[in-house]
Amino acid sequence: MNEFLPISRADMEARGWYYCDFLLVTGDAYIDHPSFGTAIISRVLEDAGFRVAILSQPDFRDEHDFIEMGRPRYAVLINAGNIDSMVAHYTAAKKRRHDDAYTPGGVGGKRPDRAVTVYSMLARRAFPDTPIYIGGLEASLRRFAHYDYWSDQVMPSVLSSSGADALMYGMSERSVVELAKNLKAGKHGIDAVRDIRGMAYFAPDASDVPFPAVECPSYEQVCESKEDYARSVKIQYDQADHVRGKAITQAHGKRVLIQNPPSKPLTTEEMDKVYALPFARTYHPSYDAVGGVPAIQEVQFSIIHNRGCFGACNFCALAFHQGRYISARSHDSVVREAEQIAQHPDFKGYIHDVGGPTANFRFPSCHHQEKHGLCMNKRCLFPKACDNLEADHRDYLTLLRKLRQVPGVKKVFVRSGLRYDYMMADDNDEFFLELVKHHISGQLKVAPEHMSDNALYYMGKPSFSVYEKFRERYARINEKLGKKQYLVPYLMSSHPGATLDDAIQMACYLNKVGYMPQQVQDFYPTPGTLSTAMYYTEIDPRTMKPVYVAKTPEEKAMQRALLQWRKPEKRPLIVAALRKAGREDLVGFGKECLIRPKPGEHWEKPSAKQGQKKNGKGEHRGKQANRPTRPPKHGGKPTNPLAGIGPKKGKKRKG
């Protein structure tokens, strides 16, 4: 096993160190695996010749654990862990979670709320004169003034609340090495970060920005005006491209936040070098006594082969964090990792995943991006596949074939986010056939998210008809191969724009195909996404038009319950929802009905003007605004009903 980096003063002294160059503080347990940002950043710095020590989940009641490690020579680097600390602690209903998969023993409460801010304050107390730099998902998504769902208010940049010197956003291998070299060369303050892409910092004014820049509404303006908030988010997304993106300035009182343009993605050769670093590929042995760290189970025998996602769903933070540009590792690099996995004493022959943000992306969506970047006001897959999209799975298929041939490997699974709309844009069935034949363990999980085109528009997802065609194609291939495999759809309730009528439409569809999901994800307004901006402002930043938002706990509960209408405990909510929507026609004994009437229960006879439904705001819609609430026909039954929507329970989606 490769040697772990020091996690204590005693570990450093055992190496003959009396100081470290960088103290890396994280809200996760220390897992030295390339699925974890802490592991990658620490190993990249080590490879660049710097001494790095890890301070994992320090006691956040005081600065004692920081002082115990000793002052680092150059800086303290801080992240909250692989997952936002507030998401780690609270459900979408703001209920406290009791466990934490990224903590030894899986116990909750080992990291503080708003971990980046708390750790930064403790580091400042412990080392008043040492620079502090924050990064990772939590910091990256809070780099501008942002809406905070948990306090229900607009908050300033996390740089302001944390008091850190600067913030690294996105994938930071380039940024952190450049910063380290600047600090070693004696640069300090703004001089250490001014010229580094992927960096944000405060300055007295915007007179010395070394990149072309655009200004977005100030912190004070976005607090006062929801229209300004929506505009600011649109500007931030427009510039989130490493080719054409400009620096962005945002005033915070008498200071100005300056975000430099995004860092350039790693080349294939650079990615290969990162993933070849000497990772131990497991958690630190000090956690053995409490049963290890649950988070390793999903990734220990998985392989990441790409980064970025040009799908750019509005509710997903990937476009704002990793970006939409695809970068990928070489086949040789991935195969070498598989060979290394196969030598692990606990490996049973199954590679759990070969994926990334989206498993079946290996290249940028078109050649235009290489020179001009991704289009500012266009999406590659929304509202339909772009005419310039190059949908080609041959390279990914070749990679999977090579992995199947690695000695000791019995099965290679693909589980992390296949884009079914991208698969439908590829007319060649070769990949689809081998996926179904070799890379699925009884069920395939995809994310249509909803069945209403109205809701899907606000999600930035393609029309539901694309999913239906995919479902039928999947059924035909299963039948051709003699397989009985299921399709498990991930679904979301209460997304901005989704009305009660939309939820009823989805319930009717699920009833029609005979499937009730065991798990439904409520929309979670996490910082940094377009959907969160819609939730807070009730404005679509893409168009600046009003958006209906289900905000009351009652309506959100109704929308969720409608997707699980067969559960007896959901009946009161279903009754309330159908009455509110004027859908008494869905109560009865017909096969299209969602619930059965109880003896003595009074239901109004469906009106002859059943088409005149109420909209989500309780107002009657005119005929032109009316959307069909019955599930539309989509070309008949699938060839193999077993390959339709299956009854098997899927695992809960991450993040």
Nearest to 374 by CA among 308, 422, 418, 315: 308
Give the count of alpha carbons within 13 A of 342, CB side only. 17
Identify the burial level of 550 via C-beta atoms within 10 angstroms of its C-beta, where 0-12 means exposed, 13-18 middle and 19 or more buried.
buried
Euclidean distance between CA atoms 158 and 528, whole angstroms: 12
CB 328 within 8 A of CB 305: yes
Secondary structure E strands in 216-254: 247-252
Q: For residue 551, which amino acid is it?
A: K
Sign of the Cα torsion 247, 252, 256, 259 reads negative
Three-class SS state of 376: coil
Q: Cα dist. 200→187, 272, 453, 654 in Å?
A: 17, 27, 38, 28
Q: Is 392 exposed, middle or buried (0-12, 13-18, 19+ CB in 10 A)?
A: middle
In angstroms, the CA 358 to CA 390 distance is 16
DSSP label at 191? G
The answer to whether the CB of 274 falls within 8 A of the CB of 173 is yes
Report CA-CA distances (Å) from 273 to 17, 173, 333, 466.
Answer: 26, 11, 9, 38
3 state DSSP class of 591: coil
What residues are paired with 148 via a beta bridge?
A: 153
Kindly list the distances between the CA atom of residue 615 and the CA atoms of 296, 548, 618, in Å, as whole numbers in the listed order.
46, 9, 5
**Residue of 20, 28, 25, 19 whose CA lies nearest to 164:** 25
* Closest to 63 (Cα-Cα) out of 118, 26, 140: 118
| Spatial CA neighbour of 358 closest among 285, 313, 406, 309 | 309
Q: What is the CA radius of gyration of the chain?
A: 25
Count helices and strands in the chain by DSSP H and E runs? 24, 22
* 118 vs 461: CA distance, rounded Å: 37
Calpha distance 450→475 (Å, rounded) = 20
Q: What separation, in Å, do the N-terminal and C-terminal C-alpha atoms of the chain show?
A: 30
Joined tokens for residue 580: 């509110």
Residues 6+ positions from 556 with CB-CB distance below 8 Å: 93, 493, 494, 522, 550
Closest CA to 331 of 280, 271, 254, 278: 271
Query: Any known ligand binding at 316?
Result: yes
Written as one letter, the residue type at 461 is K
417 contacts 455 by C-beta, under 8 angstroms: no
Q: Is 458 helix (H, G, I), strand (E, B) or coil?
A: helix
Query: Binding site membership: which residues?
Result: 309, 313, 316
Query: Binding site membership for [4Fe-4S] cluster: which residues?
Result: 309, 313, 316
